[in-house]
Structure 1
Amino acid sequence: ANTPKEDLASWLHAHLGEQDARMGFSYSDVLADCDAWLLARSMQSNSSERSLSTAMRDMFAQSETNRIKRFYQSRFKGSADNLVIAFRKLVDGIDLGIFDNVSGSKKALLIASHADRLPSQAEAGILALSYAESLENPNR
């Protein structure tokens, strides 16, 4: 029999980044999150020098695979361990600057994820490693 860890990892492998996910986090969800982060980062770095439309045109000129890999490298330094650290910080709410677990953030995470509970530390690690794998190999 599968352990809960294997069950979660297997489910994630089947549903994370899937082209037509009816449940889980589809390829287009992954790509949209990567694009949003890259675009925000580009605008922060060059806000006075370029327009939003120029930043979008430059970003969309790159392949989807390249954008996903750039996100993983830029946001997490291409490290699954860094992704695990980030995911584990979310299990009890969102940290903002010097404030840990901002009021209402746990409820916001539950609403956004359509879940009745946030993952445990162990589950967050499994989620992060599966997400790292999908970012490293975006065209499964």
Structure 2
Amino acid sequence: MTYSIRQATTVVVKPVTVNAVVSQPSQVTAVRVNAGLPGRSGSGGGSIKIPFSWGDASPKAVYEVEGNGTVFRASIVIQTPFDGVGASLRLGDGEVGDRLIRADQNLPSQAGEYATSPGITYMTSTFILLEITPGEGNQGSGFVLLEI
């Protein structure tokens, strides 16, 4: 479904909630939501936010890009820093585990956003995987942002 939003709005489409803020109310912004399978791109793109935390199984399938889908931007946002030595995060796919974000392109021990602009087009349906190495600590969380 596509919704046109002209002001700060929360749109609820079971089971998905989308928050949108438009800085110029005279412009219409479309927010595309697929209310079917979570983490599947459906027929369109947009921004996708997927939470993760220290104790999640790894690799974690965070999103499924359909065939001919392009990942324009990938971000790892650390909200609660990982507190252990040896913690690392990589974002990629089943073929190349760090195709989107390498371990040396983010710092799990520091809160912040770590982004790349890979421009990768997947010719077939492909799962995006987050590899979480928690290290010796016991905390850490954030989310992955994908622009498809």
Q: TM-score, normalised by structure 1?
A: 0.23
The answer to which structure, 1 or 2, has the higher relative contact order (CA under 8 A, 6+ apart) is 2
- Which structure features the higher share of strand residues? 2
- Which structure features the higher share of helix residues? 1
